[in-house]
Amino acid sequence: MTIGIHRPTQLVINRAAIYHNIATEKSRLKPGVELFQVVKANGYGHGIVEVATVAERAGATGFCVAILDEALTLRDAGFKQPILVLGITEPQYADLMATNRISATVGSIDWLKEAANYLTGDNQLAVHIALDTGMGRIGFQYPEELRTATEYLESSSQFNFEGIFTHFSKADAADTAYFQHQLARWQAFMAVLPVRPKYVHVSNSATSLWHDACNGNMIRYGVAAYGLNPSGVELTPPFELQPAMSLTTKMVFVKKLPKGYSVSYGATYTAQQDEWVATLPIGYADGYERRLQGFHVLVDANYCDIIGRVCMDQLMIRLPHEYPVGTEVTMIGEDHGKTISLQDVADYCGTIHYEIACGFTERLNRTYIN
């Protein structure tokens, strides 16, 4: 997609905030515990290569991604660290992964047997066995399946059994009953494991922040690196997370809207009195949700409502008084002590901040500071 560099709308990514969030968590880890930074989904919308660069400086020793192409992007950018693809990759790409020293997630012995047919020469594929302890997504479901898979790996020279892991679905909740249920299942799996591989990992951001006794020898540090609380507002992190993303634009058109005139598609908003209205060059094609009609932005420390439906490329706001074209508008971030957070936007949309951050499209120019 074309990047919009010739309009005054941008995502501003604060490298210093990302560094703080990673380095602080790294300092909390026990000796010998590694931090792999999760940079999937274009670094949760923050930029995969840029985030990886900061994470490397902050002490990350590896990376996690969701799909093979993200791992190849990191390799093409020159990163030499271990990279784990957390999702299931088709077995036909086993040789490509091995050639590029990219580790594969394995959820069944059938995958291993099929992948073996594609490995050539001396290529050996590093694999991490995924265990389904209650997430219900991917992975071995029963300890006996794990035992069979490890026996197969022991008998094959085509694979390097590099890691084993699971994923907790409620590590970010105050009620820990289901977390304890998953932990018990994890322990049952580990009881049948004859030899532990190099990496044993269960901790995403939430697990590492609130259940760090379970960290194993590696954590998969995700959303917290970007300054976002994994639990939303339910739990308080053990240290201050600094949000790394803000969204700003400028007014491109300002007018006085007469009483009785309507705004945007469907004429869903009609002025009840003469009002000053500004048009902003951003819309749902940029990932600024159409459902944000009625929400607000910040102008000169004033919360200004979004009026009428959000269009594909533009939206309108009601001003307290006339402002000149070119006046800066904060859509996410801080303005003279007032703040609009990603959590605020997510709450209004009835979703989670992950979705909002990841939903910003490539058309939005990303500017990096600090």
CA 340 to CA 330: how far, in whole Å? 8
Asked if residue 1 belongs to a known ligand binding site, the reply is no
3-state SS, residue 319 = strand
CA distances from 181 to 130, 142, 147, 184, 353 (A): 17, 14, 21, 5, 27
Cβ atoms of 153 and 161 within 8 Å: the answer is yes
* Of 113, 255, 259, 265, catalytic: 265
Tokens representing residue 23 in the block = 């380095």
Please give the span between the terminal C-alpha atoms of the chain, in angstroms, as a whole number.
26
* Of 19, 26, 40, 199, catalytic: 40
Tokens representing residue 226 in the block = 């970007």
Asked if residue 137 belongs to a known ligand binding site, the reply is yes
CA 227 to CA 241: how far, in whole Å? 5
CA 16 to CA 21: how far, in whole Å? 9
Burial class of residue 359 (count of CB atoms within 10 Å of its CB; 0-12, 13-18, 19+): middle
Q: For residue 183, which phi and psi values (nearest 5 degrees)?
A: -60, -40
Place of tokens 């951003």: 282
Of the candidates 212, 169, 219, 200, which has an alpha carbon nearest to the alpha carbon of residue 22? 219
CA 15 to CA 13: how far, in whole Å? 6
Is 199 known to be catalytic?
no
Is 284 known to be catalytic?
no
How many CA atoms does the CB half-sphere of 288 hold within 13 Å? 32
Return binding residues for substrate.
137, 312
* Residues with catalytic function: 40, 265
Return binding residues.
137, 312
